[in-house]
Amino acid sequence: MKTLCLKISNFFSNFREKLVIRRTMTLADGTEITKPKSYTLLSSLIILFIFIYFWNLIVSSFFQRFGFQFFITRIPNFFTILNAMVSEVNFSYFERVIDPLFVTIQISILGTFIGTLIALPIAFLASQNLMKNSKFPMMIKFGLSVIRTFPTLVYALLFSFIFGYGTFIGLLATIIFTFGIISKMMYEVIETIDLGPFIAIEASGASKLVAFRTSIIPQVIGRFYSIILYNFEINLRASAILGFVGAGGIGLILNDQMSLKEYGNVSMIVLSLLVVVIIVENISRFIRGKLS
Amino acid sequence: MIQFQQVSKTYPNGVQALKNVSLKVDQGEFVAIIGLSGAGKSTLIKLVNKMIESTDGTLLVNDQNVSILKGKNLRSFRRKIGMVFQSFNLINRTSVINNVLAARAADMNFFRTLFGLYSKDDKLQALESLHKVGILEKAYIRADQLSGGQQQRVALARTLSQNPSIILADEPVASLDPITANQIMKDFEKINKEENITILVNMHHVDLALKYANRVIGINNGEIIYDGPSEKITEDLLKKIYGRDLTDEDIMFKDK
């Protein structure tokens, strides 16, 4: 057993030695320069290997079971369904969509806003570069990973068990989800900035919090706006699913109409959401362009 | 007054940056600390406002024992000590006046700071500081649009707005061209004379140090080699401080 392990590890170290390129070039006057070790080839091979393995696992097994023919012949079905959805759009259903759509927008705006407010101090405490010699960042980062593990839907479901159904549940779920993502995105930005100004303001006798407000915020505020707008878009899209667990908004009627097999109405709902998302995307792209 | 009593500093990696350093700087002195990089100049300066903690000895600054200062006491102690850096350390993405106001934020109500609602009085004080270093007209320009010399002036104004009794300057002219460096040193000289502020400046350019400082402290390998008036320093002493002959790198105005 031991010799086997040794053999395996030997094999890998030999393998690595060969794949890690270390090229020496000689200049005209005989000076030699050696390029430092490069793991590019090794890592690309590993990625290729993983890719082929997963491809086999998922795609090949599908083809083996159903055949390639099946896959090709079924592709047009997608367009048939799409066509049916588009051609059957029930525009008159729009007046029933407006109210839930507004509820969805409200949840997204309020959820993004409150989530951001909570995220800001947490991102500050989670930034290792500001909190030198402190255990806070590690602990908070772990907590945030746990929070992000669960999708919005799970939170909505959880809250519906506790508080019952309704818009408020959707808002709570959106806040938590937004908080988890925005905190991470914010501390990642903070951890890349130039710390000089922060040190200078701290040296002037300011607390970390004051130094953060005065020297870090101006540096990161532009990127923070981008993060917030991006999360607002995500929340709008997620809202369609939120309604499935009774958390209010457009998802609620989407779920109803789907179970009633009223595809014309479903199309109208999806279409409305699509229009809103596109509008919001364009507004936020415009604002982000102005900011940078 | 700054008083080092057998102060030592050993970094966690084992490097002994300062060995049993004793010195006394009176209020209003202009002291230049010279030596090679890695000699301990920066450590010495950063000990004064406790950016670095000493490992041994006693350090008294303005009659306070620095090593026991913590939290709120440390912060109010730092209010009276200004600091200027080699890389200026300005907040780039905001206006010059906001940079100066940031150094006054420690004295302000936190909610005012939080929303950036500085009082008229605070703004006026900040503008006065900018005026002192002759850069008032740049008050509403973004800090990163200024030249290196102008940025260091803003840093100086920022420090002045604290009304400090001591200014620490860590290689303040090392990243500036000779002409600008000279001007910045003149600003230090002016501040020192007019406001009786103690100035402790680190530099490796010997000529500038001798030209502007009244007193020079030469450090080699964590130990003080020379401490006295700048007029009395000799070629021999400089050789001892630098551990070698002076090269072009140690002099800013090479033709003189």
Sign of CA dihedral B30, B154, A203, B16: negative
- The DSSP result for chain A, as a single string, is -HHHHHHHHHHHHHHHHHHSB--EEE-TTS-EEEPPPB-HHHHHHHHHHHHHHHHIIIIIHHHHHH-HHHHHHHHHHHHHHHHHHHHT--GGGHHHHHHHHHHHHHHHHHHHHHHHHHHHHHHHHH-TTTSTT-SHHHHHHHHHHHHHHS-HHHHHHHHHHHH-SSHHHHHHHHHHHHHHHHHHHHHHHHTTS--HHHHHHHHTT--HHHHIIIIIHHHHHHHHHHHHHHHHHHHHHHHHHHGGGT--SHHHHHHHHHHTT-HHHHHHHHHHHHHHHHHHHHHHHHHHHHH-
A147-157 average pLDDT score: 87
Cβ contact (<8 Å) for B105 and A199? no
Minimal-distance CA residue of chain A relative to B164: A204
- The gap from C-alpha B222 to its chain's centroid, in whole angstroms, comes to 19
pLDDT band at A17 (very low <50, low <70, confident <90, very high): low
The B-side interface with A (CB below 8 A) comprises 49, 51, 75-79, 81-83, 85, 87-94, 98, 101-103, 105-106, 110, 113-114, 155, 158-159, 162
Q: Which amino acid is at B166?
A: I
The residues with which B31 forms a beta bridge, in sequence order, are B200, B215
**Ranges of chain B whose pLDDT falls below 50:** 256
Residue B97: the pLDDT is 92
For chain A, give every residue range classified as CATH 1.10.3720.10: 90-291
Between A194, A204, A213, which is nearest B113 by CB? A213
Cβ contact (<8 Å) for A215 and B49? no
Residue A264: the pLDDT is 85
% residues pLDDT > 70 (chain A): 96
Residue A16: the pLDDT is 63
Chain A residues inside the 8 Å CB shell of B89: 196-197, 199-200
CB B155 within 8 A of CB B174: no
pLDDT band at A185 (very low <50, low <70, confident <90, very high): very high
Q: How many A-B residue pairs are in contact by the CB < 8 A criterion?
A: 79
Q: Distance from first CA to last CA of chain B, Å, rounded?
A: 35
Cβ contact (<8 Å) for A210 and B106? yes
If you average pLDDT over every residue of chain A, what do you get?
Answer: 86
Chain A residues inside the 8 Å CB shell of B45: none
Residue B221: the pLDDT is 87
Rg, C-alpha atoms of chain A: 27
Between A210, A218, A221, which is nearest B105 by CB? A210
Higher pLDDT pick, A165 / B162: B162
Between B88, B114, B162, which is nearest A204 by CB? B162
pTM: 0.80
Residue A151: the pLDDT is 84
For domain A90-291, give its CATH number from 3.40.50.150, 1.10.287.310, 3.40.640.10, 1.10.3720.10: 1.10.3720.10
Q: Rounded CA gap, B87 and A195, in Å?
A: 11
Residue A286: the pLDDT is 87
Minimal-distance CA residue of chain A relative to B107: A206
Residue B32: the pLDDT is 92
Name the nearest CA neighbour of A283 among A205, A291, A204. Answer: A291
Residue B256: the pLDDT is 46
A25-47 average pLDDT score: 84
Q: Rounded CA gap, B38 and B243, in Å?
A: 12
Residue A269 has pLDDT above 60, yes or no: yes
Residue A130 has pLDDT above 80, yes or no: yes
A88-113 average pLDDT score: 89
pLDDT band at A23 (very low <50, low <70, confident <90, very high): confident
CA distance A195 to chain B (A): 8
Residue B228: the pLDDT is 85
Between B79, B88, B98, which is nearest A205 by CB? B79
Q: Are strands A32-34 and B56-61 parallel, antiparallel or unpaired?
A: unpaired
Backbone angles phi, psi at B25, to 5 degrees: -120, 125
Query: ipTM of this predicted complex?
Result: 0.90
CA separation, residue B91 to residues A204, A283, B88, B118, B120 (Å) = 14, 29, 9, 17, 21
Between A196, A203, A222, which is nearest B49 by CB? A203
